[in-house]
Structure 1
């Protein structure tokens, strides 16, 4: 059985970085690893073990390789543990599951059920310990997916409904489709995510919709 480091009692040696809705921060860890933390997310680690990270939310990692010691790097979520040897990858714990996209290098996932899953660049793996379901896909032009990478949403053949779920999670808002048929409209492309106004404007231009912000709600109309 795999033991995970995600849940533990904080101590005076615990370092925590947390973002509020709509905030994105760039971090440099003690070992030189770079982390971009998306809105409504949190990472923590013990000062004595800065290459063993706990994540809730969404982050993009550029892990610093240490060839002299071949030191590993770990990212723990509620569903799995990512074992890294120096690489670039994205991890999301949204929607009651953990999704991992590998950009370069190599990683191995240690799932909650005790099994392991190796990944190569360009692969997207999603796993939930609740339903024990795993999906393993190669990122292609035909694959429908939603990714976040260093301040940018990347959508491929993604419904507007799924697009707006990403916005909700990052900014703490709720979406209302005034015109229900807009939910199934597809979007492909990159959308900046460092400013809500710019983000919504880009979605409007890409989908031909109109989005009105009212009392923490995003009202979507046909344009």
Structure 2
């Protein structure tokens, strides 16, 4: 049988039916305790109530001291009331998290060489931004493309910066395509030099680098980070300079060097090389079993398969703009499948909690995920 979880609370208030009163008192008498039980024992006893079947309508005497009995009953009521209120609290937190919607805009800003800023959401597809020596057009696919008038414009630098939930794509002057993830930034010349192509990246970006030759020699392309740099000859790869230095190569060949972006590329040693479907992370090269886990953001979903919860949470935090902390007891839990980035944070967490039982706490704008201690269904 399944008991009503408010029965103990109603028992202390004298609101039980005769049958319920008999059920509780028979259950208490069953244990014949003389001392106040430990809370864990009390929980086990409480769960046993669900299985208790009354054999006789006879009321039995208890062996607990009156004060101990009252204290124990109140303890049980408190525990029971906690579990009753848990679902209400969890539902309230999820209701609050429903406010964290999937962003409807790119949340990106373009910074010109004169430090003037433009909100890219105000630049619609087909619109053109007129600058002194060049034009910036938003293509039908949403990418930004530069149209240059002055061949000396190579000295002018632009920056595109995204905030939480932001993503933007652009086409550089050499034809290289770049996608910029949330909370990221890329600085680049509006025209590359004849023998050098170089951009500076903070955060995460996906590149499809165009092959460019000068006098039969390929012009290298460099992605510079705060602690690492990548040398490219024409390839597709993803770079994550956010929480970790991680480079994933889909196609082609790249070389990686340690060192600040302030160091000239000629002074760097590019002694780590990647080939197709390899990833460089934590100073080591490993084969990548599934490319989706590295470019899921570009394709519009959260990739879960064989991913620990803490890695997924990093992506959720960046996308929805909320700080999330995961308890170590569940941080390494493995997930499977994928979820659209168009869903709200509430919808995503409901899916995750169906696989990994967890509790939610929202405190001062920070979300805490903990292992569920909810023992009563």
Correspondence for 2:149: none
Q: CA deviation at 1:212?
A: 6.5
**Alignment CA distance shift 1:202-1:212 (3 Å):** same
| Deviation, structure 1 residue 69 | 5.2
Give me the TM-score of the superposition, normalised by structure 1: 0.75
Matches within 5 A, 1:104-183: 104-112=251-259, 114-127=269-282, 134-140=283-289, 146-149=293-296, 150=298, 151-177=300-326, 181-183=329-331
Write out per-residue CA displacement over residues 3-53 of structure 1, whole angstroms, 9 at most, x where no aligned residue.
xxxxxxx96511100001111112111111111111100000123427311
> TM-score w.r.t. structure 2 length?
0.47
Q: Are 2:202 and 1:56 aligned?
A: yes
In the alignment, structure 2 segments of 5+ residues that lack a partner are 1-111, 115-155, 260-267
Query: Using the alignment, how far apart are the partners of 1:115 and 1:84 within structure 2?
Result: 11
Distance 1:201 1:71 in 2: 47
Pair 1:73 & 2:232 matched? no
**For the Cα contact (< 8 Å) 1:174–1:217, is it kept in 2?**
yes
Cα deviation per residue 1:63-103 (whole Å; 9 max; x = unaligned)? 122356522211111122111111111000122x3200001
Larger helix fraction of residues = 2
Does 1:218 find its partner at 2:349?
A: no
The DSSP-based 3-state class of the residue aligned with 1:162 is helix
More RCO (CA 8 Å, sep 6+): 1
Is the CA contact 1:147–1:155 (under 8 Å) kept in the aligned structure 2?
no
Q: Choose 1 or 2 for highest CA Rg.
A: 2
CA distance in 2, matches of 1:121, 1:81: 18
Q: Indicate the structure with greater strand content.
A: 1
In 1, distance between residues paired with 2:361 and 2:157? 38
Asked if the contact 1:155–1:188 (Cα under 8 Å) also holds between the matched residues in 2, the reply is yes
TM-superposed CA distance for 1:148, in Å, is: 3.6
Number of equivalences: 201
Secondary structure of the equivalent of 2:336?
Answer: strand
The one of 333, 349, 357 aligned to 1:185: 333
Change (3 A) 1:44 1:211: farther
Unaligned runs of 5+ in 1: 1-9, 128-133
Q: C-alpha distance in 1, partners of 2:361/2:165?
A: 14
**Distance of aligned partners of 1:192 and 1:27 in 2 relative to their CA distance in 1, 3 Å threshold:** farther
Judged with a 3 Å threshold, the aligned counterparts in structure 2 of structure 1 residues 120 and 180 are, in CA distance, closer, same or farther, namely closer
**Of 49-58 and 150-159, the range deviating more from structure 2:** 150-159
- In structure 2, distance between residues paired with 1:16 and 1:73: 17
Aligned to 1:83, the other structure's residue is in SS state strand
- C-alpha contact (below 8 Å) 1:187/1:207 kept by paired residues: no
Do residues 201 (structure 1) and 347 (structure 2) align?
A: yes
Conserved? CA contact 2:304–2:338, under 8 Å: yes
SS of equivalent to 2:294: strand
The separation in 1 between residues aligned to 2:182 and 2:225, in whole angstroms, is 17
